[in-house]
Structure 1
Amino acid sequence: MKPATIDKELRITTQNDQDAYGGTLQLDWIPLEKHYLITGLDVVLDYLDADQRQFDTTTTSFPFPVTTVTDDLFNDEANMKTYALYAQDEWNIINDFVLTAGLRYTWVDSELEETNDPGLTEESSDDTNLTGSLGLVYSGIDNLALRTLYSQGYRYPNLLQLFIGTVHGSSDPTFANPDLDPETSDNFEVGVRFDNKEFLLDLTGFYSSADDYITTVVVTGGDKYDNVDEATTYGVEMLAQYTFESVGITPYINGTWIRRKFETDAGPTKDTGLPDLNGRFGLRYEKNLEIIPALWGDLFVRAASDADKEDLSDGTVEHFDGWGTLNLALGVDLGKRSQYKLSLELNNLLDKEYTHATESLMAAERHVVVKLSATF
């Protein structure tokens, strides 16, 4: 007698439609001598309509072959409303010193309005938060500026993370977590910038300590959005370029060295799926013509090093390979004030197959992007 077998095939198709409406009302003031005050209101309204179809085929061989087919369609509707008031004051304390202080107060309301998915529950969440920043810039040396900044960060989980989850980006689903806490952080940076109109060098060192950092953890049947008790991130960012004005050519490099450490109940780990190195380098050409204000081209490589990500539940480590792509961008500025910009981007010219760290879907192969923008 042949052993009994069970064959299962599950096909999932999704269609997510998200509409976002937003606006900013900003007023700039000079209330006192040496003060420049910026105040404003931000409003963002997000509406998500998510459809997921699950086509499940099960075939059993005992006592005789039987095939069962189920076809389920789930629909979820969710929304998030975000409002923020902000103010920032630039104070020219004394010659060559500028002190900048800012405050931002945020309200968030989110809701899963409707769902017919038995694994989800219609519910809502809301939060408010006040963040601040304080920075100082010294520019008393020719072609040189020194800066330091402290800022607080705030990130509220999005609708997919809170209510719906996703099947994109992995062979297994990533489940929502309505109990997610907003992520908060304290951020520090120091920097130096040298610019004599030919050679530009900008170096920034940064450090961030985040509480309730939002990431994913492995659970039965897939992954789940969850908070990490603490995440520490630090690194250095660099931009260097030299312009040969006579020919309009600028070689440049822009890159970041970064490390991140998670503190969890299971212990610390630096294998967080973040590449140590990432950035781009290339040659940029720009020429001003009589008819066209600016004609430019940019041939560059975008790249990232390899990365490891530790499964916080059992300590196993997944490795992600590094990658690099060759790209070309061409564009023109049009109009008397260069208010119109037209560009053509030829991305991944060598048609390299690669994936970004922590993702399982292949990145885009050779493709073309056309952009037209206008400034009023």
Structure 2
Amino acid sequence: MNKTVSDWNGTSEANSYPFAPARTYSMGMFVQDAMTIQNWTVMLGLRFDAHQLTADKEDAIGVDGLEDNSSSELSPSASIAYQFTPNFNSYLSYKHGYRAPEYDKVYGYANHDFVPITPFVILTNYQLEAETSDSFELGAKYDDGSLRVYGTVFYNMFENFIDVVDTGFNQSTGLFEKRYENLSDVESYGAEATIEYLIARDWTVSSKVGWVDGKDANDEYIRSITPLEGNVGLDYDDSKFNGYLRLNWADAMDRTPSCADTLGIQTDCAQTAGWATVDLGIGYDFSKDFYVNANLINVFDKEYVRYQDVAGLIDSQTRFSTEPGRYFTVNAHYAF
């Protein structure tokens, strides 16, 4: 991008880049084997990943000395499952995870000076390290053709957890500064459950629920956790006509990390209230080639905010984060 500046010093021209030109190289190799002994099934796996991010122009975004960012990791995995009956099984699994820093978190200088009240900038961090984790999961599944039940609990330990951090207020630029950094000794845990029951030949009732919690080494909540949330639905489906009625809900969320307010003072990040919405839809197959469906979303025009959309923000930054009100969609598909 060419830039021309005219002032009392005269006219000058310069080339600048909104993003740092860079090249990414990734490689992955994976082997896995499964063994079955009577009712037991054991799976063992091993994965190798290598990642390199190289800046083509070191000073492209006004940050001198951008460095290459490279990492690699060997990640084992293992699981063991037992088939108690033809309809019911349980499993325990372990997985070592690896997450290389993405381009936008290393070189992605992003200026948000247009944001009202709290303009900010996301700074580069070319020394960001790869995130690794050790994850354990215990689950069970039941399916007899009419009733399906699935439940799991999980626990994750992270090293060099990648998260965005408020670094303070820059008096010279008038911008709050954020940067993706590595957090040490982060733990997260949670549970998920799904139940589905065929109450008649074409009618199914179902429900899903999930919850995630987690903190870092400083006993601070991390941004990626979620409130208790889920849905309850009723579905109808025959050879021609289908329809659904769905109640979506989430509990209030007050397990929030710290944020910097407009004065640069640390305070609690935005919290959200509990909410519930209703969706419904119908569809019809006129032929094997022609299908139409219609959906009415947020039937009662509920105004609400999903916590995942405002996690890590202060209250004044959430004014435009409400979900859409009542709206409908119509889709038609014809193959010829």
For Structure 1 versus Structure 2, the TM-score category normalised by the shorter chain is 0.7 to 0.9
TM-score normalized by the length of structure 2: 0.73
Q: CA deviation at 1:163?
A: 0.5
Assess, with a 3 A threshold, how the Cα gap between structure 1 residues 365 and 193 changes in structure 2: closer, same or farther. Answer: same
How far apart, CA to CA, are the structure 2 residues paired with 1:147 and 1:332?
39
Structure 1 unpaired stretches of 5+:
1-50, 54-71
How far apart, CA to CA, are the structure 2 residues paired with 1:163 and 1:319?
28
AA aligned to 1:206 is: F
Across the two proteins, how many residue pairs are aligned to each other? 293
Q: How does 1:236-251 map to 2 (within 5 A)?
A: 236-250=191-205
- Name the counterpart of 2:79: 135
AA aligned to 1:285 is: D
Question: Contact 1:275 / 1:304 at 8 angstroms: preserved in 2?
Answer: no
How far apart, CA to CA, are the structure 2 residues paired with 1:104 and 1:183?
15
Q: 3-state DSSP class of the match of 1:160?
A: helix
Alignment partner of 1:224 is 2:176: no
- Name the counterpart of 1:95: 38
Q: CA deviation at 1:165?
A: 3.5
**Deviation digits for residues 279-334 of structure 1, max 9, x if unmatched?**
32121414231xx5x84535231535313112599763223213534334556789
Question: Contact 1:255 / 1:277 at 8 angstroms: preserved in 2?
Answer: no
Question: Contact 1:104 / 1:132 at 8 angstroms: preserved in 2?
Answer: yes
Name the one with the larger strand percent: 1
Question: Contact 2:196 / 2:204 at 8 angstroms: preserved in 1?
Answer: no
- Name the counterpart of 1:210: 158
AA aligned to 1:299 is: R
Assess, with a 3 A threshold, how the Cα gap between structure 1 residues 130 and 172 changes in structure 2: closer, same or farther. Answer: same
Q: CA deviation at 1:226?
A: 0.6
- Name the counterpart of 1:65: none
Q: CA deviation at 1:174?
A: 2.1
AA aligned to 2:44 is: A
Assess, with a 3 A threshold, how the Cα gap between structure 1 residues 96 and 298 changes in structure 2: closer, same or farther. Answer: farther
**What is the aligned counterpart of 2:189 among 221, 234, 237?**
234
- Name the counterpart of 1:358: 312
- Name the counterpart of 2:47: 104
AA aligned to 2:92 is: T
How far apart, CA to CA, are the structure 2 residues paired with 1:333 and 1:104?
45
AA aligned to 2:46 is: L
Q: 3-state DSSP class of the match of 1:299?
A: strand
Q: CA deviation at 1:208?
A: 0.8
Question: Contact 1:297 / 1:331 at 8 angstroms: preserved in 2?
Answer: no
Question: Contact 1:275 / 1:305 at 8 angstroms: preserved in 2?
Answer: no
Root-mean-square deviation (CA, aligned residues, Å) is 3.5
- Name the counterpart of 1:259: 213
AA aligned to 1:326 is: V
Q: CA deviation at 1:198?
A: 2.2
Q: How does 1:272-351 map to 2 (within 5 A)?
A: 272-275=222-225, 277-289=227-239, 292=240, 295-297=242-244, 299-307=246-254, 308-311=256-259, 316-324=267-275, 325-328=277-280, 347-349=297-299, 350=301
Q: 3-state DSSP class of the match of 1:242?
A: strand
Question: Contact 1:167 / 1:174 at 8 angstroms: preserved in 2?
Answer: yes
How far apart, CA to CA, are the structure 1 residues paired with 2:164 and 2:106?
12
How far apart, CA to CA, are the structure 2 residues paired with 1:149 and 1:165?
38
Q: How does 1:147-226 map to 2 (within 5 A)?
A: 147-167=91-111, 171-220=119-168, 221-226=176-181
Structure 2 unpaired stretches of 5+:
4-14, 169-175
How far apart, CA to CA, are the structure 2 residues paired with 1:245 and 1:143?
20
Q: 3-state DSSP class of the match of 1:316?
A: strand
Q: CA deviation at 1:352?
A: 2.3
How far apart, CA to CA, are the structure 2 residues paired with 1:79 and 1:364?
37
How far apart, CA to CA, are the structure 1 residues paired with 2:279 and 2:285?
20
> Aligned residues: percent identity?
18
If asked which structure has higher relative contact order (CA below 8 Å, sep 6+), I would say 2
Q: CA deviation at 1:225?
A: 0.9
How far apart, CA to CA, are the structure 2 residues paired with 1:278 and 1:299?
17
Q: CA deviation at 1:195?
A: 2.1
Q: CA deviation at 1:106?
A: 1.1
How far apart, CA to CA, are the structure 2 residues paired with 1:369 and 1:121?
50
Assess, with a 3 A threshold, how the Cα gap between structure 1 residues 285 and 319 changes in structure 2: closer, same or farther. Answer: same
Q: CA deviation at 1:238?
A: 1.3
How far apart, CA to CA, are the structure 2 residues paired with 1:214 and 1:194?
36
